[in-house]
Amino acid sequence: MKSEELLNQFEEYLLNNLPSSNTFHPIFEKALQDMLTAGGKRFRPMLILSIVDAIEPLLTKNALPVALGVEYLHTYSLIHDDLPSMDNADLRRGHPTLHKTYDEVTAILVGDALNTHSFNLLANAPLSNDVKIELIKTLSSDGGIDGMIIGQAIDCYFENQKISLDKLEFLHIHKTAKLIAASLKMGAIISNLPYELQEKLYAFGIDIGLLFQIQDDIIDEVQSEVQAGKTTSNDSSKNSFVNLLGLDGAIKSANELSHKCNATLNNFGNNINENLNELLSKYLNRHLV
């Protein structure tokens, strides 16, 4: 299976390129590596590699630092999201969160380090400077104040305050969906796809990201921590799709969005369709499991 081959390639690259603190600090290097080696779906890097492999397979190796950079940025966001000042979660990727294993200061600084180093990886990738500039622009926008950060800020500020469905969608498009959409677009940038197709993949990524968030809200409601591999039943004060629409309403919305994503997927070229379909098949209906 192509998806499994790409994942194995990425995992090997990640393990061979773990970040190092290069100092006498007794715990920082291990803390820096813990959440990266704890597993995870690697969904965002796999989106990048799936597009590159479909269009320019000879560039797949060159795209690995970019995929790793996105995984670093995503992992930093999870570490900070779990902090006591945000979600105060105890479990992530089936392991204790960093602030539980070490302390809050260490968790904050590990997140900061992964965030910063993600752009170092992009800047030093074996790709043309023009391509790297576009990649950095995309990731810094959708992973920053125009995307994930403003989404997180809205999420935290409006705790215990009910917001409308359109505002809830805005929140989660920015907090979750934009980094997923950016991953697809970054694969398209590396592959030198036409701008119009880049934007179609980006729009598809927004739908996938929103679906993922609705599914996560459903999982938080119905699964145990052991099943989910992270802290669940933790959204009572949050603006979630389950809290706003009810469990049945959230499942209905997820079903509709899943059908839309399947239909959109069929409009891409054969190679893209094949790679993405293989990658997404286990995710599009995970809210029904």
- Token couple for 247: 């469990």
Report the CATH number at residue 235: 1.10.600.10
Residues sharing a CB contact under 8 Å with residue 172, sequence separation 6 or more, in sequence order: 151, 209, 210, 213
157-173 pLDDT per residue, tens: 999 899 999 999 999 99
Instruction: Give me the domain span that covers residue 164.
Output: 2-288
CA separation for the pair 87, 112 (Å, rounded): 18
Show the tokens assigned to 251.
Answer: 């499942």
One-letter amino acid at 140 equals S
- Kindly tell me if the per-residue pLDDT of 21 is higher than 70: yes
Q: What is the pLDDT of residues 230-241, one digit of tens each?
A: 555 555 678 899
pLDDT of residue 235: 59
d(CA 120, CA 130): 16
Phi and psi at 284, nearest 5°, equal -65, -25
**Count of structural domains, the chain:** 1
Cα separation, 275 vs 46, in Å, equals 10
Rounded Cα distance between 200 and 24, Å, is: 48
Asked if 93 and 107 count as a contact pair (C-beta separation under 8 A), the reply is: no
Q: What percent of the chain has pLDDT over 90?
A: 85
| CA distance to 22, 37, 172, 218, per residue, from 10 (Å) | 24, 12, 27, 29
User: Does the model's pTM come out above 0.75?
Assistant: yes
